[in-house]
A and B are shown apart, each in its own frame.
Chain A
Amino acid sequence: MQETILNDLKMPYCPGCGHTVANKSMSKALADMGVHPLDVIVVSDIGCTGLVDPLLTCHTIHGLHGRAVALAMGIRMGLEHSDKKIIALQGDGGATIGLQHLLEAARHNLDLTLVVQNNMVYGMTGGQTSGLSSTEFKEPDRPESAVPGYDICALAQNAGAAYTARTFIGTDTAELWKEALSTPGFSLIEIVEMCPAYGMRKVQELHDTADYESVVTRNPRAVGLPHKAIGRSLLDGLKPIEHTCEAPLDGRLEIIVAGSAGEAIQSAGDLLSTAGITAGLSATKKGDYPITIGTGFSVAEVILSRQPIHYTGIDCPDIMIVISQDGLDKVRSRIGEHTLVIADAKLGPELEELAGPPNLVTRDFRKTGGSKGAALAAIAHWLQDNGFLPIEALVEAASRHKHGDKMKVIIDKAVAA
């Protein structure tokens, strides 16, 4: 004889509870289909539906209130294409709490079955109404409430479920179960049932009260499964930076590069760092920009040092390269007495009040480099002037970049200017 997923323990539910009937029909359907209990995983929710685990001979996992469908999705994705049947059991309360999960499971169309045992109340906690309680179902203490219940079959169908069915207890559900359990993809069975303790006691009452009717929908579509890739090492792809020349820098140099979004400030910061490493220095770089990265300021903080760098913060920079008003507005307050400011010519008048010569150098870097190359032009100009790093280090760093040729032209122009 086919083993069933129900053992012979007595069901723990109140007399007349719909859960008893629903569990028996689930067990019968699986047995009729010849499914072995160890080929079934039941994911149970919190509430009276979740008392089912001890009655089952299949695999069981008993989680949190409302989350059974999400957990079932994780299991399905973990087991991939196995032919194990995954069945999530929820009450109407759990379905309300986890409505997003239900929609998500339908949208992905993962191969699992969700059974919602809808008795329109949270039974375990004393009969509160749920999101599935219908307009005419009243809590004794809240007779004035008149909110319609969610039609979760319609919602699930709309979200992409392969199969949905709503049935009322007392109807023969054998065919529904079989179809749901054998439909590839996400299937939902909603069983509207009694909770004699707090909800309705008669089948007719269910029909009279419900906002919704029996329904079956089918939507054959590709079964979802996450894409599985062969991961590429995140280190092998990094091209080592050769130490090919020497920097005269002996201590630590803190540099801020500031401009606007779209002006390649971050890549200028990366380039400067790479140039430093090429010349045998340690380097760190971090970016600062608004969450809306396509507009506003863009700031790169770079530290170059002869010694290993531990602390990566910059309070008052040694060098500040500023090429736009957005950038200046962002970093103006960080200019210190010893900061050397290298700025685009347009910012000259404003900066002169803050940092008069000799701490200020202005040039028309936009003319040399264009808006995307102005920061690089300013860096090249500064290195040429001060010699902290040999220019070849910057050229070498640029040659690693996909726009390296354009960068080299800008560096040449800046050095010649």
Chain B
Amino acid sequence: MTTVNERMVFLDGSRLIIEAMARSGAGAYIGYPITPVNWLFAGAKQRIPIALEAPDEITALQWAAGFSSSGVFPVTASAFPGFALMIESINMSFMMELPMVIILAQRLGPSTGSATTGGQGDLLLLRGCISGGYSLPVFCPSNLNDCWEMAAASVHTAVNLRTPVVLLTSKEMVMTNQNMDISGLKEIERAERHMHEGNGEYKTYGVNGNLAPPFLPLGNDLHQVRLNASTHDMEGITQKNSPEALGNTERLKNKIEQSVDEYTYYEHDRDEGADTVILTYGISAEAAREAVDLLRASGESVSLLVMKTLLPVPPRIYELLSAYRHVVVVEENIVGLLRELLYGNRQHDRIHGVNKIGHMIAPREIAEGVRQCRKPS
């Protein structure tokens, strides 16, 4: 029977993501109708102080950048077709160092594919979407509780690092209702930007210590702000390739990578003595959890590693994986994007895949994959 503090409700991931982002300080949501993010948009219209319909995804990202440069934290969401249109503007925001979150809900591709079928096909797009190969931080919820926590982590990381961040999810996470006791959700703090203070000299991209420059909004009364999407010096003036400007661009790489330990999230369910680990993320993680139960119930030992910070690839992940003889990478695509991200195109004897498109991968298929890889050949 219901205990005193319990609050059991029936809800979807979209609701948790939007609520968590609002509590983290999201001030504007710029939407564009596309399946499967319509529930996020609907939630945002009730929850986020400013919720707008942009006429297209390029506009959505430009508006987001405008909000961010004036001090309001923006969120937008799309699926691959819309995300593709956003990419140039995401690069712009990355270069200008404007915090924002883009929620990318994956669906079956290529192209428009199937709008109401899930998928996990966009990981390498994210890995390569910033020209020059720089990483955008990418978080990925693996269950409802993660929808809450990774949404908050996305906003906080975006603010702390002054960068766009992607929350990578999928149709099945944001459009499935599940029961959840929400009394156990963690408190979320509002993310506050690190502001420039005082009347001293201000350079928009000047840093001291912290690799993310302190912020001032466009239009402030004290200091000139110069935001720039082109290669620029610390003041924000366009430069072709001066040492100062190239140094500034290198800082963008270091800024994201240097602190990755601080925003590395994962779940490691370690079975002592297991020589095999199932490695997965997002929607396939839930099936993997059941596969682990299945295997263990029949006396087969196996571990599970669920990545919640996908990019930049946390060094900690390699440390954990190195303890296993077999790594079975489970993801809803037939190419093996996470496998390629971690191990390249070369085939490795110890790296295996369980892959599929058009349907969620089922627990028994994962269990079968684990058994296969351990068979002596």
| Partner-B contacts on A (CB < 8 A) | 37-39, 41, 53-54, 57-64, 67, 70-79, 82, 84, 100-101, 104, 226-235, 238-244, 270, 273-274, 277, 280, 282-288, 291, 309-313, 315
Contact = CB atoms under 8 A, between A and B. Distances in A.
Contacts of A57: 224
Given A231-B49, A240-B6, A240-B8, A64 B88 contact: yes
B318 interface: no
Given A234-B15, A234-B47, A100 B56 contact: yes
A76 to B, nearest CB: 7
B287 A38 contact: no
B258 interface: no
A286 B35 contact: no
B125 interface: no
Contact of A104 (B18, B59, B359, B360): B59
Contacts of B363: 310-311
A78 B46 contact: no
Interface of B: 1-2, 6-11, 15, 18-19, 22, 28, 35, 43, 46-52, 55-56, 58-59, 62-72, 74, 88-89, 92, 96, 115-116, 143, 172, 175-179, 182, 185, 217-230, 236-238, 286-287, 289-290, 359-360, 362-363
A79 B177 contact: no
Contacts of A284: 176-179
B176 A74 contact: no
Contacts of A71: 62-63, 65-66
Contacts of B52: 77, 226
A59 B219 contact: yes
Contacts of A67: 58, 62, 89, 92
Contact of B360 (A38, A233, A283, A313): A313
B362 A315 contact: yes
B47 A74 contact: no
A175 B177 CA distance: 60
Most buried by B among A100, A226, A283: A226
The prevalent SS among residues of B at the interface is mixed
Contacts of A240: 2, 6-9
Nearest to B182: A235
Given A61-B225, A75-B67, A310-B290, 18 more contacts: A59-B220, A59-B225, A67-B58, A73-B66, A75-B66, A78-B66, A101-B59, A240-B8, A241-B8, A244-B2, A270-B177, A283-B179, A285-B178, A310-B286, A311-B286, A311-B290, A313-B287, A313-B359
A53 B226 contact: yes
Contacts of B35: 291
A82 B18 CA distance: 28
B3 to A, nearest CB: 9
Contact of A311 (B9, B22, B362): B362
Contact of A310 (B43, B143, B227): B143
Contacts of B225: 59-61
A285 B62 contact: no
Contacts of A312: 172, 176, 178, 286, 360
Contacts of B55: 100, 104
B229 A63 contact: yes
